């Protein structure tokens, strides 16, 4: 098992990519800490336990730096910490830059940038002290490409990738790796919310899939597999990297 006896903390793990990652890490022997602002994370942890895995739930608002520190401190004291997956994120309705309300921009920045910053800020002292660990941040195709009418989202996901590189350069001497997974459009609730703004969401979904060489969108499980790789010792010499998992879109 690739994560045997390791504690993996995952933010935004109540659904989508976060839930799929929690399940895959548990299958690979990890003790999974499911965190989410949504209490649905309780059911995720319970399902993992019922399937024979090991899991616990902690409620967490990633935008609250003090709470993030308190939760990580409690997790370290109770379970230890080997891997942090900063997955929690949000999007916004499509719109040109000048029409996006500042409050929406600020919320997206708070979750997608500050949430990742807070996670790294809370976890790094513990990881440095023990001399090993891995951080996997969830970026996006928007980490590499500027998506039209998604300026705030593109801003934040570009920042996640470059912040990851900075963390990798700074924490590498302490035995800590940091990487980003950059998914293409994935079948999640976030995608459903994005498509709901279209006149015909299903037609838009089909058109979107046609733009990918593989002629389909990703499943959460496929992104979870990439996260699992970067979290595991199989990626022991991979750090500061943005792993693109986009079905060939960027090609």
Q: Count the alpha carbons within 13 Å of 57 in the hemisphere toward its beta carbon.
A: 20
Task: Please state whether beta strands 31-36 and 54-59 pair in parallel, antiparallel, or not at all (unpaired).
Answer: parallel
Please name every residue paired with 5 in a beta bridge, in sequence order, or none if there are none: none
Query: Phi first, then psi: what are they for 133, rounded to 5°?
Result: 150, 170
How many C-beta neighbours within 10 Å does residue 100 have? 19
Give the ranges where the chain is alpha helix by DSSP (H).
16-27, 41-50, 65-79, 102-109, 115-130, 151-171, 189-195, 201-210, 220-231
Element (H, E) at 238: none
Q: Which residues are catalytic?
A: 153
């Amino acid at each position: 098992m690739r994560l045997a006896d390791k504690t993996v903390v995952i933010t935004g793990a109540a659904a989508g990519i976060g839930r799929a990652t929690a399940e895959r890490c548990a299958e690979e022997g990890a003790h999974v800490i499911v965190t989410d602002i949504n209490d649905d994370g309780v059911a995720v942890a319970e399902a993992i336990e019922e399937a024979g895995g090991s899991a616990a739930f902690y409620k967490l608002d990633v935008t609250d730096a003090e709470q993030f520190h308190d939760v990580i401190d409690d997790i370290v004291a109770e379970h230890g910490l080997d891997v942090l997956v900063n997955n929690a994120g949000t999007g916004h309705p499509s719109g040109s830059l000048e029409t996006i309300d500042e409050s929406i921009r600020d919320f997206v920045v708070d979750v997608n940038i500050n949430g990742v910053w807070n996670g790294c800020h809370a976890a790094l002292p513990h990881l440095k002290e023990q001399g090993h660990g891995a951080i996997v941040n969830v970026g996006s195709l928007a980490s590499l490409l500027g998506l039209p009418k998604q300026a705030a989202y593109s801003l934040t996901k570009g920042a996640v990738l470059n912040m990851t590189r900075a963390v990798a350069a700074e924490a590498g001497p302490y035995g800590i790796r940091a990487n980003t997974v950059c998914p293409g459009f994935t079948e999640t609730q976030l995608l459903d919310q994005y498509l709901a703004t279209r006149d015909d969401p299903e037609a838009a979904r089909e058109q979107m899939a046609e733009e990918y060489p593989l002629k389909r969108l990703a499943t959460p499980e496929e992104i979870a597999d990439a996260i699992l790789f970067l979290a595991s010792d199989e990626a022991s010499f991979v750090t500061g990297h943005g792993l693109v998992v986009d079905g060939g879109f960027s090609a």
